[in-house]
Amino acid sequence: MSGIGPDQELSIAAIATAVAPGQGGIAVIRLSGPSAVHAVDAITVIPGQQVWHSHRVLYGHVVAAGGVERLDEVLVLVMLAPRSFTGEDVVEIHCHGGVIAVQQVLARVLEQPGVRRALPGEFSQRAVLNGRLDLTRAEAISDLVGARSQRAAQLAMAGLDGGIQKKMVALRERLLDQLSELEARVDFEEDLPPLSGEALLQELQAVRLELLALVADGERGSVVRHGLRVALVGRPNVGKSSLLNLLSRRERAIVTDLPGTTRDLLESEIVLEGVPITLLDTAGIRATTDAVEQLGIARSRDALASADLVLLLFDLAQGWSDADQALFALIPEEVPCLRVGNKADLHLDADVEVASVADVRLSAVTGDGEQALVRAVLERCGALSEQPLLLALNQRQSDLADTAAEALARSEQVAADGLPWDFWTIDLRQAIRSLGEITGEQLTESVLDRIFSRFCIGK
């Protein structure tokens, strides 16, 4: 195998927990492979009569190469094959956190014969290759570790519980049933009862519709999983910083009555209805000779191009001006935009013309209209739906499900042309193959390498 996991005869080792100076009381170093137990035994002193049995915790010290100097006080957790995450012998060394101690222990581990540093995602890949974990569950582990909101963690757990695997296996089995009927007719049609092309087509299109629904849910799930970048744009002193403070519930920007107060791009991480949102409070875009403010304005223009959504604030009390329209024209056509009329507490309701320009009206000072704004943001980004989101395919899985759906869609043309049964099997096999790639039943080693290379080291 190229890339990840080129030689399973070697044991692999890596730090399995986050490492930072002064952070974390405990760090975990994980080993997996045939020499894992021997390697840890060689660098530790385990006092008394403690036995290296599976699923036992041992107490001792990691010692330096001379066998005298103690590097750290540790607990050793032994999990022998096949009762481990990877299906191989796995040993975890629980040492003190921070940086120096854990790096010293890892260095001692990597000095042992038959042990090399693990590559990103290699522990999970070995679990898949050894049949301990299906591919969708392995990907769900990565999503769970990277979850930025409680809702994202819930979706990851649905995948970890096997929801995606079960759904894809069930759909693939339905297609395999139809393929077996078709192949039987190709070889022994004269000896079998007639096969209804209409009933066959209905079943294939029913599976296709389920796949398309999963793809649509995957798009919603992507928003929950990866979050959105929302840029706050507007003329100076229209209330962008006040809105950021309102939504983030903490002071992240200096709010004054002076135009041009925000001179840099401020970011605030929040969660709206389970969706992680990165709010970008941009400098007011206007003509200025101030070099520092010009730099902030340049960054604001960059934020417009990279945002998933733009909130263009304008002052309801002053109305929609030519300057507001000029800002609106700067927003790229492909980026959704909501025109937010702020300072509703100062605006007279009788001015219907001004109010009609706004997609949402609010007061960033009093909070009136905040919920309407939140709903409008999520609706514009496709994150709201009447149907609960129970499963969410990742991008790789969604692409394969979409490929399978396209293959099944071609069966309509095959049916319309009245082609023989063996023509039906071509696209049906493609759909089955794509679903098999989702679960890992039909994957090349090079594809596995690409998938797990996106995982973090130690996972």
Residue 371: Cβ within 10 Å count: 10
Residue type at 311?
A: L
241 near 264, Cβ under 8 Å? no
- Interatomic CA distance for residues 127 and 451, integer angstroms: 14
- For residue 40, name the pLDDT band (cuts at 50, 70, 90): very high
- For residue 283, name the pLDDT band (cuts at 50, 70, 90): low
The residues pairing with 26 across neighbouring beta strands, listed in sequence order, are 96
Residue type at 351?
A: D
Question: Is 403 or 323 the better-scoring residue by pLDDT?
Answer: 403
In this predicted structure, what is the pLDDT of residue 457? 67
Domain ranges (residues) in the chain:
11-134, 157-223+391-439, 228-307+309-380
Domain spanning 228-307+309-380: CATH 3.40.50.300: yes
In this predicted structure, what is the pLDDT of residue 259? 42
Lowest pLDDT segment from 19-23, 147-151, 357-361, 424-428: 19-23
109 near 13, Cβ under 8 Å? yes
Separation in Å, CA 426 to CA 179, 202, 407, 423, 430: 10, 17, 9, 6, 7
| Mean per-residue pLDDT, 281-294 | 53
Which residue intervals of 285-360 are DSSP H helices?
A: 291-306, 322-330, 352-357
Angle between helical axes of 197-226 and 163-188 (0-180°, round to 10): 160
Sheet containing 115-117, strands listed edge to edge, beginning at the edge strand earlier in sequence: 44-45, 56-63, 70-79, 90-96, 26-32, 11-15, 115-117
Residue 188: Cβ within 10 Å count: 9
Residue 445: Cβ within 10 Å count: 14
Let me know if the fold of 11-134 is the same as that of 157-223+391-439.
no
Token pair for residue 400? 């394969």
Whose CA is closest to 183, among 405, 418, 428?
A: 428
**What share of residues in the chain are helix, strand, coil (percent, to 5)?**
45, 15, 35
Q: Is the pLDDT of residue 454 over 80?
A: no
Chain segment 413-452, per-residue pLDDT in tens: 888 888 777 788 899 999 999 999 998 887 666 667 777 7
Q: Is the pLDDT of residue 1 over 70?
A: no
- Interatomic CA distance for residues 272 and 228, integer angstroms: 10
125 contact partners, CB below 8 Å, separation of at least 6: 4, 5, 138, 448, 452
Is 60 strand, coil or helix? strand
- For residue 258, name the pLDDT band (cuts at 50, 70, 90): very low
In this predicted structure, what is the pLDDT of residue 143? 87
Is 355 strand, coil or helix? helix
Q: Which residue has the tokens 């293959």?
A: 407
To which CATH superfamily is domain 157-223+391-439 assigned? Answer: tRNA modification GTPase MnmE domain 2 (1.20.120.430)
- For residue 354, name the pLDDT band (cuts at 50, 70, 90): low
- For residue 344, name the pLDDT band (cuts at 50, 70, 90): confident
Residue 125: Cβ within 10 Å count: 29
The 3-class SS string of 200-221 reads HHHHHHHHHHHHHHHHHHHHHH
Question: Is 346 or 366 the better-scoring residue by pLDDT?
Answer: 366
| Mean per-residue pLDDT, 20-25 | 76
In this predicted structure, what is the pLDDT of residue 70? 94
Separation in Å, CA 64 to CA 12, 15, 99: 20, 18, 17
Is 49 strand, coil or helix? coil
The number of angstroms, rounded, from the C-alpha of 31 to the middle of its chain's C-alpha atoms is: 26
DSSP secondary structure of 19-44: -BTTB-SEEEEEEESTTHHHHHHHHE
Question: Is 128 or 302 the better-scoring residue by pLDDT?
Answer: 128
- Interatomic CA distance for residues 293 and 133, integer angstroms: 54
| Mean per-residue pLDDT, 140-150 | 83
| Mean per-residue pLDDT, 86-100 | 93
Question: Is 366 or 281 the better-scoring residue by pLDDT?
Answer: 366
In this predicted structure, what is the pLDDT of residue 295? 55
Give the fold, CATH level 3, of 11-134.
Gyrase A; domain 2 (3.30.1360)
123 near 12, Cβ under 8 Å? yes
Token pair for residue 272? 């709206």
Q: Is the pLDDT of residue 397 over 70?
A: yes
The residues pairing with 391 across neighbouring beta strands, listed in sequence order, are none
- Interatomic CA distance for residues 17 and 14, integer angstroms: 9
Token pair for residue 238? 């229209």
